[in-house]
Amino acid sequence: MQKSYSRLLGVVGKPNTGKSTFFSAATLVAAEIANYPFTTIKPNRGVGYVRTPCVHEDFKVNDNPRNSLCLDGVRLVPVEIIDIAGIVPGAWEGKGLGNQFLDEIRRADALIHVVDASGGTDCEGKSCKPDEHDPLEDVTFLEREITMWMVTILKKDWSKIARQAEADKKGIALPLEDRLTGLGIRRQLVGEAIRKAGLNVDKPTTWSDEDFYRFVDTLRKMSKPMLIVANKIDLPSAQANLERMKKLDYMVIPCSAEAELALRRAAEKQLIDYKLGDSDFKILNPEKLTPGQISALNSIREKVLVKNGSTGIQNAMNMAYFKLLNMITVYPVEDLEHLSDHNGRVLPDTYLVPQGTTARQFAYVIHSELGDNFIYAVDARDKRRIGEDAILKDRDVISIVSAKKRA
Ligand SMILES: Nc1nc2c(ncn2[C@@H]2O[C@H](COP(=O)(O)OP(=O)(O)O)[C@@H](O)[C@H]2O)c(=O)[nH]1
Ligand SMILES: [Mg+2]
């Protein structure tokens, strides 16, 4: 069967932190790609991009991408992203849009937690004075909401199933695994989380409430890896909070979603030269800009780009895909000499696959027949043959030879 490794990134946080601005900026790209691998585009679900240096420069060829974009040597590979409704305290008990956002978290493979780093949004998501609210609290708040939601689902009839598991001498992992379908978590993770939490799988009746919480919290971290976007970094009170947030046990990315949205809109109108994730921009047509627009752009450069290196949106997308989800990029080609497909398109596709993907597994990603009839693969860089179990590396260019192709 053909295998897809598509992953969904969820943008989460309490109301008013800038999630929708982040989502709009991340999904706004002037140049469109004809064929996305995704079909289910709902209003809050869209296509963002990860950015990677294109391999065409390594091979000194001109490319002709099909499933991705190549802008000045930068490959943009589409990925799916969902703007999840704002989470309020008590969401796990059904407060606010409780069930809706938890249902969306269930679908997400990794979470981008957008925090208002300026401290200008209170616990409930209402505006307050800058620094009136401590953004560090938002991190523990969200962890707790998601964990409590999982606890509620997993702990149903706990004393009964714990006693039963001990009587049957089969361990508690299996009965817990049966509950996971509602959470979008892989079964194998349960046993691992129990071990990591230091609990005895055969003695669940001895687990205290805190033990159970610790196990579920471990499971949450493993199944819904999360990074933190310190948003509204353009506001004066945000920088000091960012430094405090960096001490957390998370990747923390300074960000101005609003600045990125402004830059992408200006780039769309060809007023500036700016690619997603760039550390600077160039004004193309100063005469088309009002003095107010020019000063707004200069302020973005000063307050965001110079201080933090970029607006952070692209960095967050990349980190989520490449670091939280451990994905790599691989380029399949049919013709090794021209690095093209059978239509002569040079380096047409970039696939995102998990680290550890083998040559044959990669063949299955392209086409089930290619996987079934796999004979060997060739690494385009050194023209060496590699076998089915060879593990692919980031930015590999691979040609697959299958039985059918030969016949
Ligand atoms: N200063 C500043 N304001 C922002 C930024 N991102 C979003 N906002 C503002 O924060 C408010 C809430 O944004 P929104 O995206 O609707 O938040 P959501 O409720 O989390 O989806 C809006 O007024 C945005 O203009 C940012 O990077 N900097
Ligand atoms: Mg929103």
116 lines ligand 1 (CB under 6 A): no
The answer to whether 402 touches 373, Cβ cutoff 8 Å, is yes
pLDDT at 85: 87
Q: Which of 21, 122, 229 to mutate to test the pocket of ligand 1 (most atoms within 8 A of CB)?
A: 21
CATH topology of domain 330-406: Ubiquitin-like (UB roll) (3.10.20)
CA of 264 to the centre of ligand 1 (A): 16
Q: Which of 23, 258, 313 to mutate to test the pocket of ligand 1 (most atoms within 8 A of CB)?
A: 258
Q: Encode the chain in three state secondary structure.
A: CCCCCCCEEEEECCCCCCHHHHHHHHHCCCCCCCCCCCCCCCCCEEEEEEEEECCHHHHCCCCCCCCCEEECCEEEEEEEEEECCCCCCCHHHCCCCHHHHHHHHHHCCEEEEEEECCCCECCCCCECCCCCCCHHHHHHHHHHHHHHHHHHHHCCCHHHHHHHHHHHCCCCHHHHHCCHHHHCCCCHHHHHHHHHCCCCCCCHHHCCHHHHHHHHHHHHHHHCCEEEEEECCCCCCHHHHHHHHCCCCCCEEECCHHHHHHHHHHHHCCCEECCCCCCCCEECCHHHCCHHHHHHHHHHHHHHHHHHCCCCHHHHHHHHHHHHCCEEEEEEECECCCCECCCCCECCCCEEEECCCEHHHHHHHHCHHHHHCEEEEEECCCCEEECCCCECCCCEEEEEEEHHHHC
231 lines ligand 1 (CB under 6 A): yes
Residue 378 to residues 156, 348, 382, 399: CA-CA distances in angstroms? 52, 17, 8, 5
260 lines ligand 1 (CB under 6 A): no
Sorted by where each begins, the domain ranges of the chain are 8-145+226-322, 330-406
pLDDT at 350: 96
Strands 396-402, 327-333: pairing is parallel
In this structure, which residue's CA is closest to atom 12 in ligand 1?
16
Range 8-145+226-322 classified under CATH 3.40.50.2000: no
In this structure, which residue's CA is closest to atom 13 in ligand 1?
18
17 lines ligand 1 (CB under 6 A): yes
CA of 96 to the centre of ligand 2 (A): 13
At 311-342, the pLDDT tens digits run 999 999 999 999 999 999 999 999 999 999 99
Ligand 1 atom nearest residue 118's Cα: 1
At 92-116, the pLDDT tens digits run 888 776 667 777 888 899 999 999 9
This prediction has a pTM of 0.94
What CA dihedral angle connects 211, 214, 216 and 217, to 10 degrees? Answer: 170
Nearest ligand to residue 112 Cα:
1
Point out the residues of the chain with pLDDT beneath 70: 1-2, 30-41, 97-99, 404-407
Task: Count Cα atoms within 13 angstroms, Cβ side, for 384.
Answer: 6
Nearest ligand to residue 13 Cα:
1
CA of 196 to the centre of ligand 1 (A): 38
